Chains A and B, each alone.
Chain A
Amino acid sequence: MNTNLNNGFGSWVIRFRWLIVPATLFLVFAAASGGRFLGFSTDYRVFFSENNPQLLAFEALQNTYTKNDNVMFAIEPKDGKVFTRKTLAIIEEITAASWKIPHSIRVDSVTNFQYTWADGDDLVVQDLVENAPSFTDAQLKKVQAVALAEPLLLNRLITRKSNITGVNVTINRPQKTITETPEVAAFAREMKDKFQKKYPDITIYLTGVIFMDNAFNEAGEGDMKSLVPFMYGIVLIIMALSLRTFWGTLTTILIMAFSILTGMGLAGWSGILLTPISANAPTIILTLAVADSIHILVTLFYEVRHGKTKYEAIQESLRVNHQPIFITSLTTAIGFLSLNFSDSPPFRDLGNIVAVGVMAAYVYSVFFLPAMMAILPLRVKKVSSSQNIWIDTFGDWVIHNRNLLFWGMIIIITFLSIQIPRNIIDEKFNEYFDTRYQFRIDNDYVEEHLTGFESIEYSLSAGESGGISNPAYLKKLDEFADWYRKQPGVMYVGTLTDTMKRLNKNMHGDDESFYRLPEERDLSAQYLLLYELSLPFGLDLNNQINIDKSSTRFTAILESVSTDYALNLEKSAQKWLKENAPPEMASHGASPLIMFSHIAMRNIDSMMVGTILALLIISAILVGVLRSFKLGLISTIPNLVPMFMTFGIWGWLVGEIGLAVSVVAPVALGIIVDDTVHFLSKFRRARVELGKTTEEAVRYSFHTVGTALLLTSIILVCGFLVLTFSGFRMNAQLGFMTTISIICALLADFLFLPTLLMKLDRLSTKKQVT
C-alpha cells in the first residue's frame, strides 16, 4: 500500500500527540454521555419487528379479547391437600390480594371460579369457595369434586391429585414505561414472601410471562455486571503475560473502555433499548478491540527490541499495521452490520453497536494508542529474536507435511460438513434462562407439576354477528376441542363449549343428561346473556368472546414440547380445521410459542442472505486489498471452511439451532476473515514485493503474523468463552459457537490455507511450464 502516506501518518500522529489525546477524550465523553438514555427492555415482544406476521396475529388476538400476560402463583400445601379449610382460606386471601397487583385486570383461582348451579328456577352464580373456614367436610368434598370435574380448572389451576393449585393473574401493561414489568414482578414477589412467611405450611412458586420478561431484564443487566469485568480481567492477564508492558496494557485497557463507551453511548443517543442480546455488545467490542492494539504494540516492541527508537518504532508499526487493522475492522464491522438482515431487532441492535464499537476501536488504536505511546515512557529490554523461533519451526513443519495436512484437512472438513444436517431447529424460549434464575426453577416446577407455560391460541370465527350461539358452530368448536385434547403433549384446552354445556345443565335443573350443547341458537344466546349478567367484576367473558359475539378464543396449553412438535401440532390443527370446519373458522394459531418458533426459522433464512451478502462484500474488499482476483477468490475458502466445520461440530455435539445460533455465521465470518486477511496480505507481500517462492512466502507469513494471529485468537476465544458463562442461553450458545468457529478459523488458516496455496501454486506453475 501507500508506504509514504502511512509513514507520514505515523509522524503526523507523533507530532500532534498532545492534540490527539484531549480530542479523543472529548469525543469519547460526547459519545458516552448518551449512555444515560440506555435502559433494559422488559418485554419479550422486543424480539419481534413491528411487522412480524406472528406478532401481528397475536396482537390482533389480544386486542380482540384481552391480553394474556400473566403472573401465576402456584401454591403447594406441605400436606399435599388443597381442599382443606386452611389451604382454601389461604387461596381466597391470595386471590383477593392479587387484585391489588399493579396493572392486574383479572384474577382466576379455584376459589373465585364462578360456580353455577340450579336452585329451582334460579340460576345461582357464585364463587366456588367463599369463606372456607366455615366449610363442613361435606362441602369441602363437594367443592373438590366440582373443581376436578371442571374442564376450565383441571390441569390449569388444579391438579388431578389436588396437591397443587394456581392463582392466575392477568396483567395488562400499558407498555408506556420500562419500569412496569419490574414493578409488577417486585409486587408479586413481595406478596409471595409475605404469604410464605405468614403460612409456612405452603410453598409458593411464581411464574408467568411477567417473570419471563423480567428475567430478560435481569439477564441483560446481570451479564453486563458480571461478564464484562470478568473479560477485562482475562484480557489484562493475557496482555500482561504477552506484552509485559505496563503503559501499553494501560492504554489498551483505555482503548477498550473508550470503544465500549462509544458504542454503548451512541446506542443511547439513538434510543436503542437494551436486551440480553445487545447487552453482549460490551464483551464483544472488548474482545475485538484488543486485537488492534495488540498488532500495533507487538510490532512496536519488536522494532524497539531490535534497536529502533520509540518514534521510529511507532512510525514503522503504523506503516505495517494501519492497513490490515483498517481492513480487519471493516470486515468485522460488515459481518456485524449484516445482522441488520435479522428479523429480530435485538440482533440488529447488537450488530450496529458492535460495528460502531469496532470502528471506534480502529480509530482509537491508530490515533490515541500511538499518541499515548509517544507521550508515555517506554522501557524495553533488548532481547534476541529467539522468541519467534517456535512459530518458524511450526511453519516449516506445515510446509514439510503439506500433503498429509492438505488431505487430512479435506477429510476432516468433509466429515464435519456431513454432520451439518444433524442440526434441527428448536427454540424453547422459557428455557432461555438457566437455573440460576428463580423464574426458571419455579417455572420448571410448575410445568412439571401443575400446568404448562406454553400455549397455542386461536380466534375462531363463526362468520356472522352473534354466530357463536349457532349450534353448528358450537358443535364444530367442541369437536376441535376433542381433537386437540387427544393430541399428545396437550395438557389443557379452554373453550366456550364447556361453559355452554354447564349452563345447559344448570338450566335444566342440573340434570346431568343435559350436560351437552344447547340445540337452538337463541337458547344459547339467552343462556349466555343470563350468565353474563350474573358475573362479577373482572370475571366476565370478554376474555373469550369478542364484542360482536362472532368469534371465540380457543386456548391449548402444552407441556414443554419442542418447537418442531409445536409447529407440527399447529399445522395439523389447521389441517383439521380446513378439512372439518367451515372456511370462516380457519385460523392461524398465535402465541409467544408460535412467534418464537417462527422467528428462529425466519431468522435462519434472513441470516443466510445476510451472510452471503457479507461474504460477497468482504471478498470484494479482499480482492481490492490483495490486488489479485485469484487470491481474493482463494480467500473465500478459508473464510467458508470454518463455517462448515463449526456447524458440523455443532450438529455433532448439540444439534439444536435456535435464534442465537442463526446469527453466528455472519458474526463469525466478520471475525475469522481477519486471520485470512493478515496471512494473505503477508503472503502477497512476500510473493510480489519481495519476490519469494510460494514456500518461502508461507514461511514469511508464519514468521510475521503467526504469533499475533495466535495471540488474538486466544483472546477472542477467551472473550467468547466468557459469554458461555451467561445464564441466558442465547448468549451462551452464541459464545460457544463463535468460539468453535474461531478455533476452526485458526486451524484452517494455519493448516489448510498454506497447503492450499502451495497446491494451487504448483498447479499454476505446472501449467506455465507446459
Chain B
Amino acid sequence: MNHIFFILGIALFLNASPSSAETPEEKGLAIALEDDKRDNGYQDFTANLLMILKNRQGEESSRSIKNKTLEVEGDGDKSLSIFDKPRDVKGTTLLNFTHKVGTDDQWLYLPALKRVKRISSSNKSGSFMGSEFAYEDVTSQEVEKYTYKWIRDEEYQGEKCFVFERYPVYKNSGYTRQVIWLDQKDYKILRIEFYDRKNSSLKTLTQTDFKLYLGKYWYPHKMFMENHQTGKSTLLTWSDYEFRTGLSDKDFNKNSLKRTR
C-alpha cells in the first residue's frame, strides 16, 4: 500500500474520535483510510462467485465465476476472473490490474479465438456481464478513487455505523455519489446507495452473511444490488474463500491468462 497514505491514515485514525476541529471531509477520508488499512495484508485469496440476475418480468439468469486476487503493494490489486457459466463463455478469463490513479488495465482471454485481447476502453463504467453491478462496483476499491465526506453516525441493523459519502474521481463514472453505511466495530460495509449522474437514486447494495477470515478480515458472502429505476436486481454469492494460497505476480500476467483454469 501507499506508505504515505498508510501513515497518514493511522495518524488520522488516532486523532479521529472526539476532535472537533476535524471537518466532515477529513473525517470521511479518515474512515476510508482506516477501512483500507484494515483490509491490508491478506496477500491473496481465491473464491467462487455466483451471480443471479433478475428482471422486472421475473426472468432469472445465473453466471458463475472463479476469482483470484493478489494484493499489490503501492498500487491497486491484481485479479483474475475465470468465467465458468454460461457455458458459451467457459474458460474466458479477465485479467485486471487496478490502479490507484488512472484507468485500470484489462485483458480478456477468449478461448474460442485462442487470443488475448486488451480491453481498450477509457470508459468502463457499464454493466458487468449484464448484471446490475457496474464494472466500477466490482473492481478493487482504492481509497484514491474517491473523495469523502462523513455525514452522520447512526444505528443500522443493530450496528453502530458511520454514514459517509464518497464522490468518484473518475470522470466517466456513472455516479455523482455513493452513500455508505460502515459498521464502526468491524468496518464492514453494510449498505451502499448509488446516485446517478443527475443525482437521482439509482440502486442500493446490501451486503450480508459476513464471515471472519484469518482472524481479522470480514468478507460478505451475499451482495444484493437492486436497481430502483429499472426494477432489475443481481445477487452475488461468494463461497469457498481461501486465503494466502501462494499466488504470485507471475500468475497475473498476459501469458498466464491462457494457462489459467
* Contact indicator B230/A105 (Cβ below 8 Å): yes
> In the complex, what residues of B have CB within 8 A of residue A525's CB?
86, 88-89, 112
Q: Is B134 an interface residue (CB 8 A)?
A: yes
Which residues A169-219 have CB closer than 8 A to chain B?
A: 172, 174
Once A121-B117, A466-B86, A532-B130 are accepted as A-B contacts, the answer to whether A546 and B124 lie under 8 Å apart by CB is no
Provide the bound-state CA to CA distance between A124 and B117, in Å.
10
* Contact indicator A125/B121 (Cβ below 8 Å): yes
> In the complex, what residues of B have CB within 8 A of residue A532's CB?
126-127, 129-130
Provide the bound-state CA to CA distance between A64 and B55, in Å.
6
Once A523-B113, A526-B111, A542-B127 are accepted as A-B contacts, the answer to whether A534 and B121 lie under 8 Å apart by CB is yes
Once A125-B120, A523-B113 are accepted as A-B contacts, the answer to whether A104 and B59 lie under 8 Å apart by CB is no
Which residues B184-233 have CB closer than 8 A to chain A?
A: 197-198, 200, 229-232
Q: Is B135 an interface residue (CB 8 A)?
A: yes
Which residues B158-175 have CB closer than 8 A to chain A?
A: 172-174
Q: Is B125 an interface residue (CB 8 A)?
A: yes
* Contact indicator A533/B89 (Cβ below 8 Å): no
Which residues B108-142 have CB closer than 8 A to chain A?
A: 108, 110-113, 115-130, 134-135
Once A537-B126, A539-B126 are accepted as A-B contacts, the answer to whether A548 and B61 lie under 8 Å apart by CB is yes
* Contact indicator A121/B89 (Cβ below 8 Å): no
Provide the bound-state CA to CA distance between A585 and B237, in Å.
33
State how many angstroms separate the Cβ of B130 from the closest Cβ of chain A.
Answer: 6
* Contact indicator A540/B59 (Cβ below 8 Å): no
Provide the bound-state CA to CA distance between A201 and B111, in Å.
52
Chain A residue with Cβ nearest B175: A537
Which residues A151-180 have CB closer than 8 A to chain B?
A: 172, 174
How many of chain A's residues have a CB under 8 angstroms from any CB in B?
Answer: 52
Once A66-B230, A522-B111 are accepted as A-B contacts, the answer to whether A540 and B126 lie under 8 Å apart by CB is yes
Provide the bound-state CA to CA distance between A78 and B124, in Å.
36
B interface secondary structure, majority: loop
Which residues A483-531 have CB closer than 8 A to chain B?
A: 507, 520-527, 529-530
State how many angstroms separate the Cβ of A91 from the closest Cβ of chain B.
Answer: 17
Interface string of A455-475 (1 = CB under 8 A from B): 000000000011001000000
Which residues A531-589 have CB closer than 8 A to chain B?
A: 532-542, 545-550
Q: Is A103 an interface residue (CB 8 A)?
A: yes
Provide the bound-state CA to CA distance between A94 and B93, in Å.
38
Provide the bound-state CA to CA distance between A537 and B229, in Å.
14
> In the complex, what residues of B have CB within 8 A of residue A540's CB?
126-127, 130
Provide the bound-state CA to CA distance between A101 and B199, in Å.
11
* Contact indicator B122/A523 (Cβ below 8 Å): no
Q: Is A689 an interface residue (CB 8 A)?
A: no
Q: Is B92 an interface residue (CB 8 A)?
A: yes
Q: Is A60 an interface residue (CB 8 A)?
A: yes
> In the complex, what residues of A have CB within 8 A of residue B94's CB?
533
* Contact indicator B121/A526 (Cβ below 8 Å): no
* Contact indicator B110/A530 (Cβ below 8 Å): yes
* Contact indicator B110/A526 (Cβ below 8 Å): yes
* Contact indicator A99/B121 (Cβ below 8 Å): no
> In the complex, what residues of A have CB within 8 A of residue B118's CB?
121-123
How many of chain B's residues have a CB under 8 angstroms from any CB in A?
Answer: 50
> In the complex, what residues of A have CB within 8 A of residue B86's CB?
465-466, 525, 549
Q: Is B22 an interface residue (CB 8 A)?
A: no
* Contact indicator A101/B198 (Cβ below 8 Å): yes
Q: Is B54 an interface residue (CB 8 A)?
A: yes
State how many angstroms separate the Cβ of A430 from the closest Cβ of chain B.
Answer: 26
* Contact indicator A123/B120 (Cβ below 8 Å): yes
Q: Is A126 an interface residue (CB 8 A)?
A: yes
Q: Is B242 an interface residue (CB 8 A)?
A: no
Name B113's contact: one of A60, A122, A526, A548 (CB within 8 Å). A526
Once A99-B198, A105-B229, A126-B121 are accepted as A-B contacts, the answer to whether A533 and B108 lie under 8 Å apart by CB is yes
Once A121-B118, A123-B120, A548-B59 are accepted as A-B contacts, the answer to whether A536 and B172 lie under 8 Å apart by CB is yes
State how many angstroms separate the Cβ of B255 from the closest Cβ of chain A.
Answer: 13
Q: Is B39 an interface residue (CB 8 A)?
A: no
Chain A residue with Cβ nearest B199: A100
Q: Is B83 an interface residue (CB 8 A)?
A: yes
* Contact indicator B230/A172 (Cβ below 8 Å): yes
Provide the bound-state CA to CA distance between A539 and B86, in Å.
22
Chain B residue with Cβ nearest A530: B108
* Contact indicator A529/B89 (Cβ below 8 Å): yes
Chain B residue with Cβ nearest A541: B130
Q: Is B87 an interface residue (CB 8 A)?
A: yes
> In the complex, what residues of A have CB within 8 A of residue B67's CB?
none
Once A102-B200, A507-B113 are accepted as A-B contacts, the answer to whether A64 and B129 lie under 8 Å apart by CB is no
* Contact indicator A119/B120 (Cβ below 8 Å): yes
Q: Is A63 an interface residue (CB 8 A)?
A: yes
> In the complex, what residues of A have CB within 8 A of residue B61's CB?
465, 546-550
* Contact indicator B56/A63 (Cβ below 8 Å): yes
* Contact indicator A537/B111 (Cβ below 8 Å): no
Which residues B38-62 have CB closer than 8 A to chain A?
A: 53-57, 59-61
Q: Is B106 an interface residue (CB 8 A)?
A: yes
> In the complex, what residues of B have CB within 8 A of residue A478's CB?
none
* Contact indicator B130/A549 (Cβ below 8 Å): yes
> In the complex, what residues of A have CB within 8 A of residue B122's CB?
126
> In the complex, what residues of B have CB within 8 A of residue A546's CB?
55, 59, 61
Provide the bound-state CA to CA distance between A537 and B125, in Å.
5
* Contact indicator B128/A533 (Cβ below 8 Å): yes
Q: Is A303 an interface residue (CB 8 A)?
A: no
Provide the bound-state CA to CA distance between A63 and B124, in Å.
25
Provide the bound-state CA to CA distance between A64 and B112, in Å.
29
> In the complex, what residues of B have CB within 8 A of residue A520's CB?
112
> In the complex, what residues of B have CB within 8 A of residue A549's CB?
61, 86, 130
Name B124's contact: one of A174, A529, A536 (CB within 8 Å). A536
* Contact indicator B129/A529 (Cβ below 8 Å): yes
State how many angstroms separate the Cβ of A436 from the closest Cβ of chain B.
Answer: 32
Once A530-B108, A532-B127, A537-B134 are accepted as A-B contacts, the answer to whether A99 and B197 lie under 8 Å apart by CB is yes
> In the complex, what residues of B have CB within 8 A of residue A125's CB?
119-121
Q: Is A221 an interface residue (CB 8 A)?
A: no
State how many angstroms separate the Cβ of B55 from the closest Cβ of chain A.
Answer: 5
Q: Is A127 an interface residue (CB 8 A)?
A: yes
* Contact indicator A60/B57 (Cβ below 8 Å): yes
* Contact indicator A469/B88 (Cβ below 8 Å): yes
**Contacts A532-B129, A537-B197, A541-B130 known; 13 new A-B pairs at CB < 8 A:** A99-B198, A104-B198, A121-B115, A122-B118, A124-B121, A127-B123, A522-B89, A524-B88, A530-B117, A533-B126, A535-B126, A537-B126, A537-B174
Please give me the 8 A-B residue pairs with the lowest Cβ-Cβ distance, nearest first: A537-B174, A525-B88, A548-B61, A537-B125, A536-B123, A535-B126, A63-B56, A63-B57
Can you name 25 A-B residue pairings with CB atoms under 8 Å? A99-B197, A119-B120, A122-B118, A122-B120, A123-B119, A124-B120, A124-B121, A125-B120, A127-B123, A172-B230, A507-B113, A507-B117, A522-B111, A523-B110, A523-B112, A523-B113, A525-B88, A526-B92, A533-B128, A535-B123, A535-B127, A537-B123, A537-B134, A549-B130, A550-B61
